Chains A and B, each alone.
Chain A
Amino acid sequence: MDDQGCPRCKTTKYRNPSLKLMVNVCGHTLCESCVDMLFVRGSGNCVQCDTPLRKSNFRVQLFEDPAVDKEVEIRKKVLKIYNKRDFDFSNLREYNDYLERVEEIVYNLTNNLEVEGTKQIMEAYQRENRDIIQKNKAKLTREQEELEELLLLEQQGNEQRRLETLQEEQRQLQAKRKSKQALLDELERSHVPATILLAQHKDRAAQLETQIEKQKQVVKTTIFSTGIPMGQTVSLLTVNRLEEVLYHYQPIHMHTYGPPVPELEQLGRLGYLNHVRTAQPQDMAGGYNSGLACHRAIQDAFSGLFHPLG
């Protein structure tokens, strides 16, 4: 990195360690001070390739090879538009083809091959797929989701561990303070000679110490040897079988207080069906026939026809 320098003022990283190199969309570098000087008015042309550039588009160069900076910039832009996920495709093959097309576009734009044509393709794509692009903006790919989940788990684990150690320390500190206080109290009140008390205290302190040491050594196990995490309750008791009476269907008996409602089977024979629209083949596919609707309508019509008043 030491031998890198600004192509305009020829300052190198070696001579000026605080040199900041910037890179714009064309992939050519300039140092920060040159950028400030050349682009006072906010825009200008690249020193090397004469592309019109804007000052606000200058980025700090992250990589040694400015071409990679440029490519990443382009790629981010392209990926904003081409943001279909693997579940938008019916099979893997199509998804892979799509990925390759994206890669092709990035490659062309980076290496200045058929820039105009590529841009047109992009625009066309954007117009066609506006909805999907909008929809996928917030979505992550499945793998990224997995990663996020892992990171979250990791974070939780670390936090847990930190808290545990913190609590442990607190507890120990308190225990020590308590024993000290107890000694002072005893010295104040008790009639036993101080030396004995002190000796007792020393004993107790030593005991406490060993106890703490022991506790420290007992590492909490978090999973059983079978791989099942602790805390997750796994009941090994057999599940009691509930003895219940089986449900028995009883047909509803409707009371219409009037003439009997014709049965579903009879509808055709009695000529009711002649007066309703016959079912289309599409409707029949799902199990529908015109009798069903007709029957319901007739049931509706009959029910409550002769309802006794009062």
Chain B
Amino acid sequence: MKLNIEGLLVYFPYDYIYPEQYSYMLELKRTLDAKGHGVLEMPSGTGKTISLLSLIVAYQREYPLEVTKLIYCSRTVPEIEKVVEELRKLMEFYSKETGEKNNILALALSSRKNLCVHPEVSSLRFGKEVDGKCHSLTASYIRAQRHSNPSLPSCRFYEEFDAMGKQVPLPAGVYNLDDLKDFGRRKGWCPYYLARYSILHANIIVYSYHYLLDPKIADLVSKELSKKSVVVFDEAHNIDNVCIDSMSVNITRRTLDRSQANVETLQNTILKIKETDAAKLKEEYRRLVEGLKEANVARETDIYMSNPVLPDEILQEAVPGSIRTAEHFVGFMKRFLEYLKARLRIHHVVQESAPQFLKDIFEKVCIDRKPLRFCAERLRSLLRTLEIADIADFSAITLISNFATLVSTYSKGFTIIIEPFEDRTPTIANPVLHFSCMDPSIAIKPVFERFQSVIITSGTLSPLDIYPRILDFRPVTVASFTMTLARTCLCPLVVGRGNDQVAMTSKFETREDFAVIRNYGNLLLEMSAIVPDGIVAFFTSYTYMENIVASWYEQGILENVQRNKLIFIETPDAAETSMALEKYQEACENGRGAILLSVARGKVSEGIDFVHHFGRAVIMFGVPYVYTQSRILKARLEYLRDQFQIRENDFLTFDAMRHAAQCVGRAIRGKTDYGLMIFADKRYARADKRGKLPRWIQEHLTDGSLNLTIDETVQLSKHFLRQMAHSIHDISNCNVQCFCQLNLSQEDQLGLSLLTLEQLQSEDMLQKIAQIAHQA
């Protein structure tokens, strides 16, 4: 279908369109026109991805000078693949409609682990090993050595690519990871480097967040992307945590010991090289004296370019004299390490700011701020000079040097917390130094400044105003879209009391209460009797889940539940969990019905969809607050209050509610889907909690569905499920109870939540659409 969105011709590869998609595109277009940033919330399963893609591609074609590139960031590899498939569909539609061959190049980029075609390297199991091995075959100095000594091993794919691949650009088309690998195999080119090279002239890039947000990787991969790009962060409800993680460093005793070993290796290598090849060290020394930046030639294959964001003026400056020669630098690192070791030898918790740390380090071991700032840069140069092939071993010392650079560069937004032991095991000494970033805007700032439009979108971004605040940017559009439905296919219920009128809550004071646990058990039991197929239940933490399940077992509740459905449990172990998931799906598939007990913030709650019969009900036991006693969190809350005027409670509730919304949102993955959403905690009924749920859930949360008892919940659920089990025709014109479960047919939705082109162009529909976007 061809759409006209405020004068822009958009090709949409489906015959029908949801009204909210139209509205979404409208907002998106306005954002692009304004060359600003946007925050857009639209429920999952309403076709966010295709709306985004078709509009931005159309925009690109219409105004090729305004928008040159689309950078689409997603979280996981399967999500990346999904986006590429949608894109392929769109491109096919284009070539069918316009009849011409399109010249758009779109490709996905992932790590070497996913793209390597070298027979030996690709068979390694861990990403780090693959990177290290690849590096040992393709680093510039190794290749230089090979000129004199051709017997050294090489990667023929890389050699081939280097020789031939750069002259001819990748032919236009849509490439997912497998396509790239196929192409690479056919041509004999390395797909990873091909992809990295091609993103410079590709029209659409799909890759993971980290390629933009993690300063170490972004510097390497995304440095030369043009300013006139549109950046989309999909599923961005957790983006602040990604930002923070990418800037934080944790140092344990083990890290220090390993870096100690690294330093010794460095020292020995320096000695050896001094005897054999002193000229090399001299050459490095000369370069550092001159303050020359390394020539760009060798950069591509050297991983050492990982560079925590440094102000540019520092990079232009020469390395300070005190760490210029290799020996001095090694001595410097030794002192730094010994200092850190001494700091870790404590018996109580220490929290200090970066300036305090710098002052202390100067007093104790006479280390100035400036050489610290150059630490990462200097180490990289040394590693390259020493031609150490296997960089995987040096991750510990690299981490330490990154820490040194970060701590001396940023005086604000970071805190240093040294804990002598973990909170759970106060008797076992296990000191950790957390260098924790408290300001997500530091990592994402370059992105906002660099690119003309950045779109943050997800199914759950409520409350919308908090994201611009914590990420410190000014959006031009902030909008939330609801799902237009032909029938109310989601039914959120807040259960506040048990049948014995005891309040149900996971509040800390009452969470061990026998009555609460029993009531939770009763709720699950009742639901297992009436809900068909799959139920997913979320707890607030693993420990809480263990406690509850143990006492359910003692009370015999589990036994009763198992009469109705099978029970599967998520554990911290990824392999076990995926096994449980597989079996759960099998049980749902063959009609036995199953219950999956899992944890909010866990693997299941973030990435796994429970479409149709895999999740007919989601029960959220308790409010998933973070562990508030953690010092890192406390420091961050304090920072938020002081810098951004966000109250502690607001942030905690916001964080808990976005996770709750993520969990319950697992069940509804489209308009034909239906599901119960049960919030089992009386605190959900409060306005401050309820108001932070996404609008598309809030809309269906009436006063009548608040603070229910278990009995009432069962009544309402039964009614809802019976209604849903009918197709719409049956409800309207037949009285006979019909137990067959029909899928919602298209005719039922047409004109309401599904539109043809003619319907879309009608006057009153356009009016309705205008109301969908809820400007925050």
| Residues in A267-293 with C-beta less than 8 Å from chain B | none
A166-193 near B? 1/0 per residue, CB < 8 Å? 0000000000000000000000000000
Compute how far the CA of A79 lies from the CA of B339 in the bound complex, rounded to whole angstroms: 19
If A107-B327, A151-B359 touch, whether A79 touches B322 (CB-CB below 8 Å) is no
Least Cβ distance of B641 to chain A in Å? 6
Pairwise interchain contact B335-A96, C-beta atoms closer than 8 A: no
Pairwise interchain contact A63-B356, C-beta atoms closer than 8 A: no
Inter-chain contacts of A143 with B (CB < 8 A): 368-370
Interface-facing stretch out of B67-75, B129-137, B313-321, B666-674: B313-321
For B329, the closest partner residue in chain A by CB is A103
| A residues with CB within 8 A of B | 1, 62-65, 68, 71-72, 75-76, 79, 92-93, 95-104, 107, 110, 141, 143-144, 147-148, 150-151, 154, 157, 161, 217, 219, 221-222
B300-341 near A? 1/0 per residue, CB < 8 Å? 000000000000000001111111110110010011001101
Least Cβ distance of B463 to chain A in Å? 16
Inter-chain contacts of B341 with A (CB < 8 A): 63-64
Pairwise interchain contact A62-B364, C-beta atoms closer than 8 A: yes
Least Cβ distance of B618 to chain A in Å? 32
Pairwise interchain contact A219-B359, C-beta atoms closer than 8 A: no
If A93-B318, A143-B370 touch, whether A65 touches B334 (CB-CB below 8 Å) is yes
Pairwise interchain contact B328-A219, C-beta atoms closer than 8 A: no
Compute how far the CA of A63 lies from the CA of B345 in the bound complex, rounded to whole angstroms: 10
B365 at the interface (CB under 8 A from A): yes
Compute how far the CA of A150 lies from the CA of B359 in the bound complex, rounded to whole angstroms: 11
For B288, the closest partner residue in chain A by CB is A96
Q: Which of B323, B356, B370 contacts A151 (CB 8 A)?
A: B356
Q: How many positions in chain B have a CB within 8 Å of any CB in the partner chain? A: 37
Inter-chain contacts of B324 with A (CB < 8 A): 96, 100
Least Cβ distance of B623 to chain A in Å? 20
Least Cβ distance of B320 to chain A in Å? 6
Pairwise interchain contact B328-A103, C-beta atoms closer than 8 A: yes
Pairwise interchain contact B342-A75, C-beta atoms closer than 8 A: no
Pairwise interchain contact A75-B334, C-beta atoms closer than 8 A: no
Pairwise interchain contact A219-B322, C-beta atoms closer than 8 A: no
Inter-chain contacts of B334 with A (CB < 8 A): 65, 68
If A68-B334, A143-B370, A154-B353 touch, whether A62 touches B321 (CB-CB below 8 Å) is no
Least Cβ distance of B2 to chain A in Å? 42
Least Cβ distance of B422 to chain A in Å? 19
Least Cβ distance of B127 to chain A in Å? 33
Pairwise interchain contact B328-A107, C-beta atoms closer than 8 A: yes
Q: Which of A75, A99, A107 contacts B320 (CB 8 A)?
A: A99
Pairwise interchain contact B328-A100, C-beta atoms closer than 8 A: yes
Pairwise interchain contact A151-B355, C-beta atoms closer than 8 A: yes
B124 at the interface (CB under 8 A from A): no
For A216, the closest partner residue in chain B by CB is B647
Inter-chain contacts of A103 with B (CB < 8 A): 321-323, 325, 328
B362 at the interface (CB under 8 A from A): yes
Inter-chain contacts of A96 with B (CB < 8 A): 289, 318-321, 324
Pairwise interchain contact A72-B335, C-beta atoms closer than 8 A: yes
Compute how far the CA of A93 lies from the CA of B641 in the bound complex, rounded to whole angstroms: 44
Considering residues B321, B355, B358, B369, which has the most beta carbons from chain A within 10 angstroms of its beta carbon?
B321
Q: Which of B335, B338, B355 contacts A154 (CB 8 A)?
A: B355
* Pairs A–B under 8 Å by Cβ, sample size 29: A65-B338, A68-B334, A68-B338, A75-B365, A76-B366, A92-B317, A92-B318, A93-B289, A96-B320, A100-B322, A100-B324, A101-B321, A102-B322, A103-B323, A103-B328, A107-B327, A107-B328, A107-B331, A144-B359, A144-B369, A147-B358, A147-B359, A147-B369, A150-B355, A161-B642, A217-B647, A219-B641, A219-B645, A221-B645
Inter-chain contacts of B647 with A (CB < 8 A): 217, 219
Least Cβ distance of B714 to chain A in Å? 37
Determine chain B's interface SS by DSSP, over half rule: helix
Compute how far the CA of A262 lies from the CA of B327 in the bound complex, rounded to whole angstroms: 77
Least Cβ distance of B467 to chain A in Å? 16
Inter-chain contacts of B353 with A (CB < 8 A): 154
Least Cβ distance of A10 to chain B in Å? 22
For A225, the closest partner residue in chain B by CB is B474
B411 at the interface (CB under 8 A from A): yes
Inter-chain contacts of B325 with A (CB < 8 A): 100, 103
Compute how far the CA of A75 lies from the CA of B355 in the bound complex, rounded to whole angstroms: 22
B641-685 near A? 1/0 per residue, CB < 8 Å? 110010100000000000000000000000000000000000000
Pairwise interchain contact A64-B338, C-beta atoms closer than 8 A: yes
Considering residues B317, B322, B364, which has the most beta carbons from chain A within 10 angstroms of its beta carbon?
B322
Compute how far the CA of A72 lies from the CA of B342 in the bound complex, rounded to whole angstroms: 14
Pairwise interchain contact B366-A72, C-beta atoms closer than 8 A: yes
B348-362 near A? 1/0 per residue, CB < 8 Å? 000001011011001
Inter-chain contacts of A62 with B (CB < 8 A): 342, 364
Compute how far the CA of A71 lies from the CA of B341 in the bound complex, rounded to whole angstroms: 16
For B366, the closest partner residue in chain A by CB is A75
Inter-chain contacts of A1 with B (CB < 8 A): 345
Q: Which of A79, A92, A95 contacts B366 (CB 8 A)?
A: A79
6 closest A-B pairs by beta carbon, nearest first, are A99-B321, A96-B321, A100-B321, A63-B338, A150-B355, A68-B338
Least Cβ distance of A93 to chain B in Å? 7
Compute how far the CA of A121 lies from the CA of B555 in the bound complex, rounded to whole angstroms: 84
Pairwise interchain contact B355-A95, C-beta atoms closer than 8 A: no
Pairwise interchain contact B368-A141, C-beta atoms closer than 8 A: yes
For B285, the closest partner residue in chain A by CB is A100
Compute how far the CA of A110 lies from the CA of B366 in the bound complex, rounded to whole angstroms: 15
Compute how far the CA of A65 lies from the CA of B589 in the bound complex, rounded to whole angstroms: 63
Compute how far the CA of A96 lies from the CA of B362 in the bound complex, rounded to whole angstroms: 19
Q: Which of B322, B355, B364, B411 contacts A99 (CB 8 A)?
A: B322
Inter-chain contacts of A65 with B (CB < 8 A): 334, 338
Least Cβ distance of A12 to chain B in Å? 16
Inter-chain contacts of A75 with B (CB < 8 A): 365-366
Inter-chain contacts of A100 with B (CB < 8 A): 321-322, 324-325, 328
Inter-chain contacts of B317 with A (CB < 8 A): 92
Considering residues A100, A151, A161, A221, which has the most beta carbons from chain B within 10 angstroms of its beta carbon?
A100
Inter-chain contacts of B331 with A (CB < 8 A): 71, 107, 110
Inter-chain contacts of A68 with B (CB < 8 A): 334-335, 338, 365
Compute how far the CA of A217 lies from the CA of B319 in the bound complex, rounded to whole angstroms: 49
Inter-chain contacts of B411 with A (CB < 8 A): 150
Compute how far the CA of A110 lies from the CA of B345 in the bound complex, rounded to whole angstroms: 25
Inter-chain contacts of A64 with B (CB < 8 A): 338, 341-342
Least Cβ distance of A290 to chain B in Å? 51
Inter-chain contacts of A141 with B (CB < 8 A): 368
Inter-chain contacts of A76 with B (CB < 8 A): 366
* Contacts A72-B365, A96-B324, A98-B321 known; 19 new A-B pairs at CB < 8 A: A64-B338, A68-B334, A68-B338, A79-B366, A95-B321, A96-B289, A97-B321, A100-B321, A102-B322, A104-B328, A107-B331, A141-B368, A143-B368, A144-B359, A151-B355, A151-B359, A157-B642, A217-B647, A222-B642
For A69, the closest partner residue in chain B by CB is B338
Least Cβ distance of A113 to chain B in Å? 11
Compute how far the CA of A65 lies from the CA of B339 in the bound complex, rounded to whole angstroms: 10
For A152, the closest partner residue in chain B by CB is B355
Least Cβ distance of B251 to chain A in Å? 16
For B339, the closest partner residue in chain A by CB is A63
For A99, the closest partner residue in chain B by CB is B321
Compute how far the CA of A235 lies from the CA of B328 in the bound complex, rounded to whole angstroms: 54
Compute how far the CA of A63 lies from the CA of B364 in the bound complex, rounded to whole angstroms: 10
For B369, the closest partner residue in chain A by CB is A143
Least Cβ distance of A154 to chain B in Å? 6
Pairwise interchain contact B342-A144, C-beta atoms closer than 8 A: no
Least Cβ distance of B337 to chain A in Å? 9
Compute how far the CA of A88 lies from the CA of B324 in the bound complex, rounded to whole angstroms: 20
Compute how far the CA of A65 lies from the CA of B327 in the bound complex, rounded to whole angstroms: 17
Inter-chain contacts of A72 with B (CB < 8 A): 335, 364-366
Compute how far the CA of A58 lies from the CA of B585 in the bound complex, rounded to whole angstroms: 71
Compute how far the CA of A104 lies from the CA of B326 in the bound complex, rounded to whole angstroms: 12
Least Cβ distance of A279 to chain B in Å? 47
For A75, the closest partner residue in chain B by CB is B366
Compute how far the CA of A221 lies from the CA of B322 in the bound complex, rounded to whole angstroms: 44
